[in-house]
Amino acid sequence: AQSVTQPDIHITVSEGASLELRCNYSYGATPYLFWYVQSPGQGLQLLLKYFSGDTLVQGIKGFEAEFKRSQSSFNLRKPSVHWSDAAEYFCAVVLNQAGTALIFGKGTTLSVSS
């Protein structure tokens, strides 16, 4: 079955430290890949997306993600975390074909310690 896995439910990082959030997908073909961020009680904000081409994509707020086809992964990274990055992060995928919808992982909650 098609699925998106975020192995880490909760991560705590010190302010200024680097961050990596993991995402793996299980699909027959390479889907479009997204990372979203959500603050409590709010909607979703798109951080970045990958469709094709360069496997390292840059997003907003200093985030980047790397697509690795061999590992079916799309991990999100940030070199230096700020306290305002504390939020919930969702990886999502969609196949490039009609009749499909965006499917989400269960999310990773990021806490930032001072």
Partner 1 sequence: DGGITQSPKYLFRKEGQNVTLSCEQNLNHDAMYWYRQDPGQGLRLIYYSQIVNDFQKGDIAEGYSVSREKKESFPLTVTSAQKNPTAFYLCASSIYTGGYGYTFGSGTRLTVV
Binding site for partner 1 (CB under 8 A): 6, 9, 32, 34, 41-44, 46, 49, 51, 90, 92, 94-107
As a whole number of angstroms, the distance between CA 88 and CA 58 comes to 19
| Vertex 38 angle, CA 35 and 39, to 5° | 150
Which is closer to partner 1, CB of 45 or CB of 113? 45
CB of 45 vs partner 1, minimal distance in Å? 8
Which is closer to partner 1, CB of 15 or CB of 27? 27
Which is closer to partner 1, CB of 30 or CB of 32? 32
Q: How far is residue 45 from each of residues 12, 42, 49, 96, measured CA to CA in Å?
A: 21, 9, 12, 21
